[in-house]
Amino acid sequence: MPINLEIVTVERRLYDDDVDMVVAPGSEGVLGILPHHAPLLTSLGFGELIVRKGGQEEAFAISGGYMDVQPHKVTVLADVAERADEINLDRARAARDRAQKLLDEAGLSLDDLLRAEAALRRSLLRLKVAEKRRNR
């Protein structure tokens, strides 16, 4: 028996289907969710969310949010999420380069430094997820 997965961001519903397994980047580590999982509410970190269905995998780059797990339904409320096949590698590389250039500048305020680090982290995640999936 499958488990229903719904992935939602502020902008759109990214995914809604029955799946065999969900592997998610929890804030305290990677979580594997199967049907009939015990109820759980957890925050999500930065990482790759993997959906397994019928021997196939689909990947998403997830940046923060929450996951509500019930025995027959998983709801991911992501701050930012993208399907691996929707990530534009050229744009992700350009974002990485911009963030790295900002970090290399001297005299950044703490706020600017934190924003640049977050941008670098997001762009590296997007590149990792997209490149990994495209090499399969």
Read off the pTM.
0.84
Could you give the CA distance from residue 18 to residue 74 in angstroms, rounded to a whole number?
A: 10
Q: Assess whether 26 and 93 both reside in one domain.
A: no
Give the domain range for residue 10. 3-85
The pLDDT-based confidence of 56 (bands split at 50, 70, 90) is very high
* Residue 134 pLDDT > 80: no
Q: Coil, helix or strand for 55?
A: coil
Domain count within the chain: 2
Same domain, 28 and 73: yes
pLDDT by residue (tens digit) across 66-121?
Answer: 999 999 999 999 999 999 988 888 898 998 998 888 888 777 788 888 888 888 88
Centroid of chain to Cα 121: 12
Whether residue 73 is found in the same domain as residue 22: yes
| pLDDT confidence tier of residue 19, bands split at 50, 70 and 90 | very high
What CATH number has the domain bearing residue 68? 2.60.15.10
